[in-house]
Structure 1
Amino acid sequence: MASKKPHAIMVSFHLQGHIVPFVNLAVKLASKGITITFAHLEFVHHQISQSQNSTQTDLFAAARTSGLDIRYTTVSDGFPLHCDRSTNINEWVANYRDRFPEKVDELVGYLLQSDSSFDYFLVADTFCVWSEKIAAKYGLVNASFWTEPALVFSLYYHLELLREKGHVPVNGRRETVDYVPGIRSINTRDFMSYFHDTELEVLHEYIFRAFDVVKTADFVLCNTVEELERDTISALQQRQPFYAIGPLFLPDFAISNSLMPEASSGDWLNSKAPGSVLYVSFGSLATTDRSVILEIAGGLLLSGVNFIWVVRPGMVESGGGGVLPEGFEDMTRDRGLVVPWCSQNEVLRSPAIGGFLTHCGWNSILESVWCGVPMICYPLFTDQITNRKLVVDDWRVGINLCEGEHISKEEVAEKIEFVLSEKKSAELRKEIEKVRCTLENAVNVNGSSERNFDCFVEQVRNEISRRCSE
């Protein structure tokens, strides 16, 4: 019997840091001749459309114009469009775990019944804990996509081992852990924030459950590079098929994937000298205390450097407005640009950018390295704490914003001056060029990530064929 064309049913997690690489994965799979049905949550689609001031119903129209077979649909999570899911997080997570799978089940059943000319398989975010049951019900090959580094994946993967050894929860201890397969050593201070928490809520249990489920996946894809996490990846590959396929970046054509309107900064950046601007952003989700914002503002005033600062609504408890010191924007009008959100790719690619003060989100790290921009690290929660270890301790392409527990404007100014000084940060820039070349080489035609991706596609086809022949 002639083999059918493979068709990936893709369901992303709803957060910005997951959506961006997941969209790029869809494009990458489609470029290999695979048909895609990409399902956004309805409220995610609504937010993206609103951010673009558009009524466009098909976010992948440009992809199809370029010749890629990507179909697009939405699935309701059962909550009203304008509901603030962050303030109802426990209720939302419980619903996403228990009730949302019914909606995905309906979509998968409909696709399989409506067009039998394809061989379908499932690609879901690792945090989609329901993927195992749906794949099993329909006999689908199940691929899990992890959007963070392999180091973080491995720590979650070995949670029970860490619990048995008494290192989770951390309980404030600072101890070296050297028994996790593939991780030479890591201090407990560098564990993800959820390992530090002693009171477990619905979200904790949900995330930990995801790493029971992922062990049943047929394949795991990871947005990292083999050469940067070789030992960790090798150890994981002893357990199940694990493919490093990163970095997954935006395609040449535009696909709307920002949940917030992006302010234009190109003209302002073009007016600044090369390497003279500090970019400051703490991402789309993390929050911090106003005291931290005030010390960063004080450091920017003391340093006297040019800067573009993303002050996102909701970044502190009191909201985006009024969190900066009184008169700050007037005092820095000639050298500073404060925006609620922007295109990070556009900013980091500008020759004017000389450094990035970052929360250490994984996408931000990969983008910063790709653009050769050294980082000042101030992780806030979840994987960001562990990502910092890779940036500062392992790759040496960034520095810590503060060395102690508390942040001060004087230390902020000192770190900014260090990174933006070409002479002082020469070693950082030397190391970041090495890592940048590693990323670039990985996605070249014969690079490790490209080979791994081709191998994954081939293995999916083989596994589908095997199941069809049984």
Structure 2
Amino acid sequence: MEKMIINGHDPKPHAIVFPYPLQGHVIPAVHLAVKLASKGITITFVNTLSIHHQIIKSHNSQPGTDDDHNDDGDIFAGARKSGLDIRYATISDGFPLGFDRSLNLNQFWEGVRHVFSAHVDELVGNLVGSSDPPLTCLISDSFFVWPSFIATKYNLVNISFWTEPALVFTLYYHLDLLIKNGHHSASHENRKDTIDYIPGVKAIEPKDLMSYLQTTDTNTPEHMIIYKAFNDVKKADFILCNTVQELENDTISALQEKQPFYSIGPIFPSGFTKSSVATSLWSESDCTKWLDSKPRGSVLYVSFGSYAHASKREIEEIAYGLLLSQVSFVWVLRPDIVSSDEPDILPVGFEDQIKGRGLIVTWCCQIEVISHPTIGGFLTHCGWNSVLESVWCGVPLLAYPLLTDQFTNRKIVVDDWRIGLNLVDDHHKGNAVTREEVAEKISRLMGGKSSGDDHDQLRKNIKEARKALENALTKEGSSEKNFTQFIKDLEFKLIQKKYET
């Protein structure tokens, strides 16, 4: 790959990367770090101590890994052996390692909002004075509330990394319009009519907004973070987004009138194979042998991601729906999917009833599973990484959003790209999922008797979406061109900064 050159006298750029401390944010940030390093940029990648310890613990429990691998493990050691200049650092999130973040989310997010920036300040301050080459850029997840303060204090180029679709970004970005028009309010019931005034968005229904914008309880730590972060992101020098220009062109074009915004997705590991950098927060089960025993396209993959919680009743109805469907399945059931203090969530006797037909694991390498030829569908929460990975593998989706951007991603999947079905037809809250609906929708997705034209049409549409992703990543594709342009613009910005100081 071509390397970035400022000029013969300047040291190469050095970017410090701060992913949000959640699995779905760490993974694309790691792949972005590798992509930037392959262009000759020095990277210092920073995980919180909690995320780091979870990764190391899960890595050490994998079969065939080195038991001597300890808590000081450098997850980028393999990347450095391949010639990439990626350093690794850890930082406190303000809480002790034993603190249950999943069980105490409000307290945790308050800490991320108020305390974390002090630890960031200390780490960046130490690096600014000692790193070689000198630190020049800050790359931070768009949900952080402190980037402009840190970037200004240490004279760093401020680069915001958005891990979700541009549609979600622009809805948060234009919160002022939603508030002004009464579609997001703390004082009264939100308007329920169509939203047609967001630049670059034709129209969107309130039920398709992110969950935090649908509620009237806006005093939560998450709301405070969103409001502050999206004020702060307007001060960023550049915004990188894990999406594809052709799939969200109007939205991206409107954002580019506001700030330098680059769609550079999908950000996957090279060759869409398991990453050489450990990123998983749970020990991964190898499902390959079990999948090899099943017919092509016959297995449903079920996962609700790494963060959102479901109720015990929802899990039970989905379990009974899987039984009724008679379809083979792999179900990823995170230990804390309901709550970390409620581990027994499946119906009594369920695992005995599915022997041979169903495989339940606490975690797996998702790209290894959904790229397996026996996978024919994905029952998903609609996390953005899952959506992009499914498109890449040509696996149609059964959408069951639980939280945050997943409701808006569902709109993209089902209504815009038409590559998936809704698990529940009416998305208004209180319309509970039933086992009969689960079984019927699985049959439609997987090509059963009730599938009609759905099965073939979904596969045709997903092939078109996959082509858009593939094309974007070719040498002349939009994402590669945008990435190259970002590198050039960054180069110019660094020269500007040099002559300003």
1:358 aligns with 2:380: yes
Question: What's the RMSD between the two structures over aligned residues?
Answer: 1.6
Give the match for residue 202 of structure 1: 221
Residues 400-439 of structure 1 aligned to structure 2 (within 5 Å):
400-404=422-426, 405-421=431-447, 424-439=454-469
SS of 2:13 mapped into structure 1: strand
Cα deviations across residues 231-275 of structure 1 (Å, max 9, x unaligned)?
000000000000001000123551100111111101000110000
Letter in 2 for 1:151: L
2:344 and 2:283 mapped to 1: Cα distance? 19
Give the match for residue 161 of structure 1: 177
SS of 1:309 mapped into structure 2: strand
Residues 131-142 of structure 1 aligned to structure 2 (within 5 Å):
131-142=147-158
Give the match for residue 218 of structure 1: 237
SS of 1:425 mapped into structure 2: helix
Give the match for residue 27 of structure 1: 34
Letter in 2 for 1:464: L
Count of matched residue pairs: 470
Give the match for residue 192 of structure 1: 210
1:52 aligns with 2:59: yes
2:264 and 2:22 mapped to 1: Cα distance? 20
Letter in 1 for 2:318: I
- 8 A contact 1:143–1:220 mirrored in 2: yes
Give the match for residue 121 of structure 1: 137
1:368 aligns with 2:390: yes
The CA deviation at 1:96 is 2.2
Runs of 4+ in 1 over 3 A off after TM superposition: 115-119, 169-174, 317-321
Give the match for residue 464 of structure 1: 494
1:233 aligns with 2:263: no
Select between 386-395 and 50-59 the one with higher mean Cα deviation. Answer: 50-59
The CA deviation at 1:2 is 2.0
SS of 2:376 mapped into structure 1: strand
1:86 and 1:355 mapped to 2: Cα distance? 29
1:8 aligns with 2:15: yes
Identity over the aligned pairs, expressed in percent?
54
- 8 A contact 2:127–2:135 mirrored in 1: no
- 8 A contact 1:5–1:119 mirrored in 2: no
Give the match for residue 96 of structure 1: 112
1:431 and 1:298 mapped to 2: Cα distance? 30
2:99 and 2:114 mapped to 1: Cα distance? 19
Give the match for residue 179 of structure 1: 197
Runs of 5+ consecutive residues of structure 1 not aligned to the other structure: none
- 8 A contact 1:3–1:465 mirrored in 2: no
The CA deviation at 1:88 is 3.0
Cα deviations across residues 193-233 of structure 1 (Å, max 9, x unaligned)?
10122122122111121000000000000000000100000
The CA deviation at 1:417 is 0.8
1:458 and 1:373 mapped to 2: Cα distance? 36
Select between 116-125 and 256-265 the one with higher mean Cα deviation. Answer: 116-125
- 8 A contact 2:103–2:340 mirrored in 1: no
Cα deviations across residues 1-31 of structure 1 (Å, max 9, x unaligned)?
8222001111111001100000111001001
Give the match for residue 126 of structure 2: 110
1:302 aligns with 2:318: no
SS of 1:36 mapped into structure 2: strand
SS of 1:80 mapped into structure 2: coil
TM-score (norm: length of structure 1): 0.97
